[in-house]
Amino acid sequence: MAKAVSTTDFVRIVAQEVSSGIERALDYWMGRIELEVVDRSLSTTERICAIEQILREYKESADTAELGCASA
């Protein structure tokens, strides 16, 4: 038998999903930056340029009006 979900439960579930999506996105962008920081094959200047490129990509993706769906 299906149980009715209260409004409070629904809001909690949606908030958890939003939080999970934010955490995945943060892990993605910070992980990309971390890879550049620890890449010993790059000079300091090259690292800074690589990180700046990642930040530009982030800003471009954040400026788009389209919302993507997270993969399951």
Domain extents in the chain: 10-61
Length reported for the chain: 72
Per-residue model confidence (pLDDT) at position 2: 53
Per-residue pLDDT of the chain (72 residues; tens, 9 = 90+): 456 778 899 999 999 999 999 999 999 999 999 999 999 999 999 999 999 999 999 999 888 755 555 554
In angstroms, the CA 41 to CA 1 distance is: 60
Please list, in sequence order, all residues whose beta carbon lies within 8 angstroms of the beta carbon of residue 29, skipping any fewer than 6 positions away. 54, 58
Give the predicted TM-score (pTM) of the model.
0.70
Cα four-point dihedral sign 55, 60, 62, 68 = negative
In angstroms, the CA 25 to CA 28 distance is: 5
